[in-house]
Amino acid sequence: MMETNTPLPITTEPPPAAPSKWTIKRITTIAAGALIGVILLVFVIGVLLALLTDATQTAPRIQIIRDIVIIILALQGIVILVALAVLILQVARLINLLQNEVIPILENTKDTLNTAKGTVEFVSGNVTEPLLRASGFAAGLRVLVSEMGGIRRAIRREQAER
């Protein structure tokens, strides 16, 4: 059996990436489901404690759980306020970036385009049009001389034939 050595084609494109299972929609759905599940679990535990145990014994335990939840919510509020402050600072930096860097770059680009437009109009009016006129005149002159030479030859032939 004879083997042939054929080179494999070289491609510069990377292979297409496999679609990820973790899309934003899926992550959001899972997080919402987990939150709803935790809330339902807490509710079911509270109902079971209320129905199956004595209220005077369960009340201090529920108060401790309530206090822990209040502390967690207060810490969550602090984290949200810090995140909001960071967001406000980032928006301020973005506005500063737009005002001090992007807008001047756009203005410089606009000035450059206006200069290029003026240059194109100047070259068109002062170089291209006269050059085209001269070229057209030269082509017409060449045809005129060529025709004059043809007429002269025709006259010479006529005189030679007589």
Q: Tens digit of pLDDT for each residue in 105-146?
A: 889 999 999 999 999 888 888 888 888 889 999 999 998 888
Question: Is pLDDT at 41 greater than 60 in this prediction?
Answer: yes
- The residue ranking higher by pLDDT, 35 or 147, is 35
Distances (CA, A) of 6 to 3, 9, 12, 15, 118: 9, 9, 19, 22, 57
Quote the tokens at residue 125.
């009016």
When pLDDT is cut at 50, 70 and 90, the band that residue 93 belongs to is very high
75 within 8 A of 68, measured Cβ to Cβ? no
Instruction: Read off the pTM.
Output: 0.45
62 within 8 A of 49, measured Cβ to Cβ? yes
Question: Is pLDDT at 148 greater than 90 in this prediction?
Answer: no
Dihedral sign for Cα atoms in the order 97, 103, 109, 112: negative
Quote the tokens at residue 81.
């306020």
